[in-house]
């Protein structure tokens, strides 16, 4: 039973991310008071890319940028890891709504961020190459585990100019920062 519920949760998270990507839109619950969110937990991201470091790098970049806004407190990753271990959460990248409520209660958080790194790294087009990042995030209300926001972004890749002159595109750090900045702007709009 527990395995079936977890599988359903993972499938729902992936479908939400794919639906947002396909529509080109982001979900923003109009009934949610985002001004009341003061403390945020950023859970480990799922990694669908070929790069083993992608999820950790994107989580760190997003957490740091979110904290830098000065709008919220981001619970340190070590505290999050201890809480996940203490609560015996089955999947740290896709917890159930009940598990999110427990995580939020233990860490005294108002919201929980989950994420999926879909692409991260170099892509090629003919003789040109470029770096790309594709990321889906979701913000859940910690009191209920309900998704109140989701956003999808893809940055980088091989542009027309890159193909024309055969350049390598933007550095990975710049592409990562652009993706994170785009998602934070969507979250706070």
119: CATH: 3.40.50.10610
Q: What is the mean pLDDT of the chain?
A: 84
Give 76's DSSP letter.
P
Q: How confident is the model at residue 104 (pLDDT cuts 50, 70, 90)?
A: very high
Q: Please report the pLDDT score of residue 162 as a whole number.
A: 66
**pLDDT score, position 15:** 38
Residue 146 scores a pLDDT above 70: yes
The candidate with the shortest Cα–Cα distance to 147, out of 13, 8, 6, 2, is: 13
End-to-end CA distance of the chain, in Å? 39
Domain count, the chain: 1
Please report, for residues 33, 102, 138, the alpha-carbon distance to residue 28 in angstroms, rounded to integers and kept in the order given: 11, 23, 10
Q: What is the pLDDT of residue 129?
A: 82
Question: What's the pLDDT band for 166 if we cut at 50, 70, 90?
Answer: low
Lowest mean pLDDT among 37-51, 84-98, 125-139, 161-175: 161-175
Query: What is the pLDDT, as a whole number, of residue 157?
Result: 84
Domain holding 37, by residue range, is 2-187
More confident residue, 163 or 8: 163
pLDDT at 189: 76
Mean pLDDT of 62-69: 96
And the tokens for 178?
Answer: 């652009």
Between β-strands 39-42 and 73-74, what pairing exists: parallel, antiparallel or unpaired? parallel
Give burial (CB, 10 Å; 0-12/13-18/19+) of 9: buried
CA distance 182 to 146: 23
Which of 120, 112, 97 is closest to 150 using CA atoms? Answer: 112
CA distances from 4 to 62, 79, 98 (A): 30, 28, 15
Confidence of residue 179 (pLDDT cuts 50, 70, 90): very high
């Amino acid at each position: 039973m527990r395995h079936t519920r977890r599988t359903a949760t993972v499938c729902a998270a992936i479908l939400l991310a794919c639906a947002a990507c396909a529509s080109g839109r982001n979900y923003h619950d109009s009934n949610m008071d985002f001004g009341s969110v003061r403390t945020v937990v950023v859970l480990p991201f799922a990694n669908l890319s070929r790069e083993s470091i992608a999820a950790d790098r994107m989580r760190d970049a997003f957490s740091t940028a979110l904290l830098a806004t000065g709008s919220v407190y981001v619970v340190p990753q070590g505290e999050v890891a201890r809480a996940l271990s203490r609560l015996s959460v089955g999947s740290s990248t896709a917890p159930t709504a009940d598990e999110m409520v427990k995580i939020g209660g233990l860490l005294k958080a108002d919201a929980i961020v989950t994420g999926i790194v879909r692409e991260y790294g170099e892509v090629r087009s003919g003789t040109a190459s470029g770096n790309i990042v594709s990321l889906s995030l979701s913000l859940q209300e910690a009191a209920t585990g309900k998704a109140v926001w989701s956003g999808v972004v893809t940055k980088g890749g091989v542009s027309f100019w890159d193909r024309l002159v055969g350049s390598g595109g933007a550095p990975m750090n710049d592409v990562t920062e652009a993706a994170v900045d785009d998602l934070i702007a969507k979250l706070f709009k």
